[in-house]
Amino acid sequence: MTSTAAATAKVLADAGVERVFGLPGGEVLVLMDELRRAGVDFVLMRHEANAGIAAAVYGKLRRQPGVVLTTLGPGAANLMLPMSNACLDCEPLLAISAQIPDDFPASHTHQLLPLHETYRPIARYVEKITGANVLDVVPQALARCMERPFGVSYLTLSAREALKPAADGAARVVAATPPSTAGAREHAAALADALRSSKRPLVVIGLGIDAANAAAIRRWLTEWNLPVAVTPKVKGIVDETADSFVGVAGGMAADGVVCGAIAAADVVVGFGLDPVEIDKTWHADRPIHWVLESPNACGVVPAGAALVSHRALLDALVGERPPAAWTEPFREFQDARKRMLADRTTSPGTMWPGDIVEALASVMPRDTIVTTDVGSHKYLFGQYWPSREPETFWMSNGLSGMAYGLSAAIGARLARPDAPVLAAVGDGGFSMNAQELETAQRVGAPFVTVVLEDGSYSLIKISQAGKKLPPYRTEFGPIDTVKMAEACGVAGLRTSNPDELASAARQAVADRRSLVIAVPVNDADYPRLF
């Protein structure tokens, strides 16, 4: 007899899932053990929210759903953040938790939460695993996460059901539907037409592009010499050091400049553009030539947009003569964007935030995966980190939820064991989940963390000032970042010298070990960049 837990584990293993992230309770121990027996590693983390974030990043990089496993009640409740994040940031996540068995007495309310009802609005597939349906619902849950835009499936399995016999037979095969190629030539012709009469076109690439199309879109943009902007979550889809790169759209640093460029464009091509990443409303206020191959986050399809395969469309565009010639139509905006970073101030004992980016960018290898947390530092790195390769930049931007940076770094490092990883976080976010540094050590996922220390939730403090409110409860007392790192078994140092920062990061990457570098910054410096 195969138990339902064993059948669940086998479906996951057969689907290529090599790791499940999580934090256990008594009710999932049988499933965990079946996963072990099926050869699926359990990455034990120190908070379910962190496990879910690490799993989603790991999954997206591995082109499969990330899987997170928690106990019932409190463990399942801790999944709200990563499930919300995966939903709005379009990361493929299968969450599995235990639940109280259906046949428990009605008076048994201990740890009983309405989990399906809670998560149904953000998960596109919610089911209870039973012995009878396990070979159907687990494959379906995996497949639904991978339907674009990627998203969340949620399954529960009670400890009692886990032990019951599973139905005999083979797991259901569910194939993902590829994007439609119908009308690709007509769409390509319509796009060429729109660009033919344009003096200042701007292609804005967003979350809806598949990284597998990076080479094709680079080729088309280069052949036609088109100016391009990206949203933060697809940083690296084009080389940001190229002359045609205008900036990062979506509320990062220098957003006034980038929004100015968008307003100055006479044709905006939204190539996979998803407004879930944009904190302003220009996407609704001005016409956009949408080029989408799947709905945007939450299934939204903008009015007037038709869905067509990007690959088929690019195949039709590549090799065609550009319909017009454009010579640096956004030069003034590109220069203004760069000037803001260079326009430094000096505050004793601190580093100009721009120098942190430049020092690290000068030493980190081209394939480095950068993760950020949420706050002023995210705006800084989101705009100014010079990404060069696809899938090398990870932030929470649809949800914009703190506590992403370190967890994402663990997921990324496990998914790409050969790529250096750099996590850039604020001291507020760092104190939310610094304990995962121990996880990183234990599971063999070393990375460099730079903590921008300003003693405040600076982005919120800046927002207070913007509303003409006095600073109130947005500053906190010091926690020694270096000692926190050391307490987790990771070396740490503090510096306000860019050269020391660069050489310490370079050495840690060469030695393939974790290092936490605390860099004092003055939170009053950030508004100069915004």
Ligand X SMILES: Cc1ncc(C[n+]2csc(CCOP(=O)(O)OP(=O)(O)O)c2C)c(N)n1
CB of 526 to ligand X, least distance (A): 7
The Cα-based distances of 89 to 82, 275, 310 in angstroms read 10, 11, 20
E strands, 180-335, where? 201-205, 228-230, 245-248, 267-271, 289-291
Site for ligand X in 373-392 (CB under 6 A): 373-377
CB of 403 to ligand X, least distance (A): 6
426 is an interface residue for ligand X by CB under 6 A: yes
Q: Which of 427, 449, 522, 530 binds ligand X (CB under 6 A)?
A: 427
Among 34, 48, 210, 454, binds ligand X (CB under 6 A): 454
The residue sitting closest to ligand X, measured at its beta carbon, is 426
Distance CA 200, CA 382 (A): 24
Q: Residue 371 interacts with ligand X (CB under 6 A)?
A: no
CB atoms inside a 10 Å sphere around CB 380: 26
The first and second tokens of residue 192, run together, are 């060429």
Q: Which is nearer to ligand X, 20 or 434 (CB)?
A: 434
**Closer by beta carbon to ligand X, 211 or else 482:** 482
Query: CA-CA distance, 385 to 393, in Å (whole number)?
Result: 9
Residue 27 three-state SS = helix
Which of 452, 504, 517, 518 binds ligand X (CB under 6 A)? It is 452
Does 244 sit near ligand X (CB under 6 A)? Answer: no
In the chain, the amino acid numbered 428 is G
Kindly state the smallest distance separating residue 375's Cβ from ligand X, in Å. Answer: 2
Q: Which of 119, 271, 330, 457 binds ligand X (CB under 6 A)?
A: 457
Question: 208 or 375: whose CB is closer to ligand X?
Answer: 375
How far apart (Å, rounded) are the C-alpha atoms in residues 67 and 88?
17
List the interface residues with ligand X, window 173-212 (CB under 6 A). Answer: none
Stretch that binds ligand X, among 20-28, 88-96, 221-229, 451-459 (CB under 6 A): 451-459
Q: Are 479 and 429 in contact (CB under 8 A)?
A: no
Q: Does 471 sit behind a cis peptide bond, omega within 30 degrees of 0 on the bond before it? A: no
| Per-residue b or e along 191-230, where b marks 16 or more CB atoms closer than 10 Å to that residue's CB | bbebbeebeebbbbbbbbbbbebbebbbebbeebebbbbb
Cα distance between residue 61 and residue 49, in whole Å? 19
Q: Pick one of 135, 273, 408, 459: the residue that binds ligand X (CB under 6 A).
A: 459
Question: Distance between CA 137 and CA 158 in Å, rounded?
Answer: 15
Binding segment toward ligand X, per CB under 6 A, in 13-21, 174-182, 198-206, 420-428: 420-428
Smallest distance from ligand X to CB 57, Å: 17
Distance set, CA 18 to CA 15, 65, 69, 147 (Å): 9, 11, 13, 20
Instruction: State the minimum distance, in angstroms, from the CB of residue 391 to ligand X.
Output: 23
Q: Alpha-carbon torsion 276, 278, 284, 289, what sign? A: negative
Cα–Cα separations (whole angstroms), residue 418 to 60, 357, 450, 520: 17, 22, 20, 30
**Least distance to ligand X, CB of residue 524, Å:** 12
What value, to the nearest 5°, has the Cα angle with vertex 247 and ends 245 and 252? 160
Q: Which is nearer to ligand X, 25 or 375 (CB)?
A: 375
Decide if residue 290 touches ligand X (CB under 6 A).
Answer: no
335 C-beta neighbours (distance < 10 Å), count: 10
Phi, psi of 516 (to 5 degrees): -110, 125
Q: Is residue 22 part of the contact set for ligand X (CB under 6 A)?
A: no
Residue closer to ligand X, measured from CB, 127 or 373: 373
Binding segment toward ligand X, per CB under 6 A, in 108-116, 250-258, 269-277, 456-464: 456-464
Question: Residue 331: in which H helix or E strand, if any?
Answer: helix 331-342
136 near ligand X (CB under 6 A): no
- Under rule CB under 6 A, residue 460 binds ligand X: yes
**Number of residues counted as binding ligand X (CB under 6 A):** 20
Q: Which stretch binds ligand X (CB under 6 A): 2-10, 148-156, 201-209, 449-457?
A: 449-457
Nearest to 483 by CA among 425, 434, 433: 434
Q: Other C-beta atoms within 10 Å of 348: how many?
A: 7
Which residue's CB is nearer to ligand X, number 236 or number 375?
Answer: 375
Q: Could you say which of 179, 201, 270, 429 contacts ligand X (CB under 6 A)?
A: 429
From 8, 458, 496, 522, residue interacting with ligand X (rule: CB under 6 A) = 458
How does DSSP classify residue 297? G
Applying CB under 6 A, the span of 71-79, 309-317, 362-370, 425-433 interacting with ligand X comes to 425-433
CB of 398 to ligand X, least distance (A): 12
Which stretch in 154-162, 180-188, 228-236, 421-429 sits in contact with ligand X by CB under 6 A?
421-429
Residue 339, Cβ density class (10 Å: 0-12 exposed, 13-18 middle, ≥19 buried): exposed
CB of 380 to ligand X, least distance (A): 8
- Six-digit token string for 131: 């012995």
Q: Which 392-411 residues touch ligand X, going by CB under 6 A?
A: 400-403
Residues of this chain that interact with ligand X (CB under 6 A) are 373-377, 400-403, 426-429, 452, 454, 456-460
